[in-house]
């Protein structure tokens, strides 16, 4: 993705492959981001990016993401295991973050049902590595938290304010999800189960700022919420 300032700067920009309003139905993922303090207002969703216009202006290129890039070939039950193992050297500093470790660990535990389903030795090794310095109790505690209904008032209000329905979410609209990610070079893969579609143009909803980080990739690159 090229910067709107025309200074030649480019960066890989991750885009969540669904409408923002649908995130309210993905409570495990929404709670996990809330739990580790991710600023949800800084995330970009598929209905907030004018992909067609960016490509026509030669300001963006696409990289296919998800299992099309990270194929496990039966070696692991979770794509998060491949991320933790295959990128442990090139992204060593990033993987030292406790929050990044928790996000990867949560993905592995959900994909393998706490290492009890479709689990390989690589999954177990990745979990042990991510838990280094912590007890096994932390693993079970995180999995139990992920399995809760998460109906506490503060979190429910967070969902309403952060992922509320936008004006582009019409009943007859086709979903704008795509099987791509915006990139100026390459980026870590994310799962994608949707068809390869271009995002629909529309006016995104306004969001109440959440979390500590107020920097917005959308504003930096000249698109997204205004």
d(CA 59, CA 182): 10
Question: pLDDT band for position 58 (50/70/90)?
Answer: confident
Cβ-Cβ contacts under 8 Å for 202 (sequence gap 6 or more): 47, 166, 167, 168
d(CA 146, CA 207): 25
d(CA 199, CA 184): 19
* Residue entry with tokens 């205004």: 226
* pLDDT surpassing 60 at residue 101: yes
pLDDT digits (tens, 9 = 90+) for 119-136: 889 899 999 999 988 888
Q: What angle do CA 17, 72, 77 make, to 5 degrees?
A: 85
Q: What is the pLDDT of residue 221?
A: 45
d(CA 143, CA 147): 6
* pLDDT surpassing 90 at residue 105: yes
Highest mean pLDDT among 65-79, 168-182, 203-217: 65-79
Question: pLDDT band for position 113 (50/70/90)?
Answer: very high
d(CA 162, CA 155): 10
Q: In the chain, where does DSSP find H-type helix?
A: 27-36, 51-56, 79-86, 98-111, 121-130, 136-147, 153-162, 217-220
Q: What is the pLDDT of residue 103?
A: 92
Q: What is the pLDDT of residue 73?
A: 59
Dihedral sign of CA atoms 136, 25, 19, 224 in order: negative
Q: What is the pLDDT of residue 204?
A: 46
Q: In 19-97, where does DSSP find H-type helix?
A: 27-36, 51-56, 79-86
Q: What is the pLDDT of residue 64?
A: 57
Highest mean pLDDT among 9-23, 32-46, 71-85: 32-46
Mean pLDDT of the chain: 72
Query: Residue 16: beta bridge partners?
Result: 45
């Amino acid at each position: 993705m090229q910067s709107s300032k025309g200074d030649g700067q480019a960066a890989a920009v991750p885009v969540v492959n669904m409408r923002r309003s649908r995130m309210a139905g993905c409570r495990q993922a929404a709670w996990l981001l809330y739990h580790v303090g991710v600023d949800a207002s800084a995330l970009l969703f598929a209905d907030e990016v004018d992909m067609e216009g960016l490509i026509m202006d030669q300001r963006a290129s696409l990289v296919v993401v998800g299992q099309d890039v990270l194929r496990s070939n039966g070696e692991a039950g979770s794509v998060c295991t491949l991320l933790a193992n295959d990128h442990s050297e090139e992204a060593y500093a990033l993987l030292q973050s406790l929050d990044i470790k928790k996000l990867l660990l949560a993905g592995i535990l959900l994909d393998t049902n706490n290492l009890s389903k479709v689990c390989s030795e690589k999954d177990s090794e990745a979990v042990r590595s991510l838990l280094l310095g912590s007890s096994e109790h932390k693993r079970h505690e995180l999995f139990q938290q992920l399995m809760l209904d998460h109906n506490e008032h503060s979190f429910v209000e967070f969902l309403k304010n952060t992922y509320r329905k936008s004006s582009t979410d019409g009943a007859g609209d086709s979903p704008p999800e795509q099987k791509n990610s915006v990139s100026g070079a390459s980026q870590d893969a994310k799962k994608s189960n949707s068809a390869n579609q271009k995002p629909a143009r529309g006016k995104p909803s306004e969001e109440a700022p959440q979390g500590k980080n107020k920097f917005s990739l959308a504003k930096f690159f000249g698109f997204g919420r205004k």
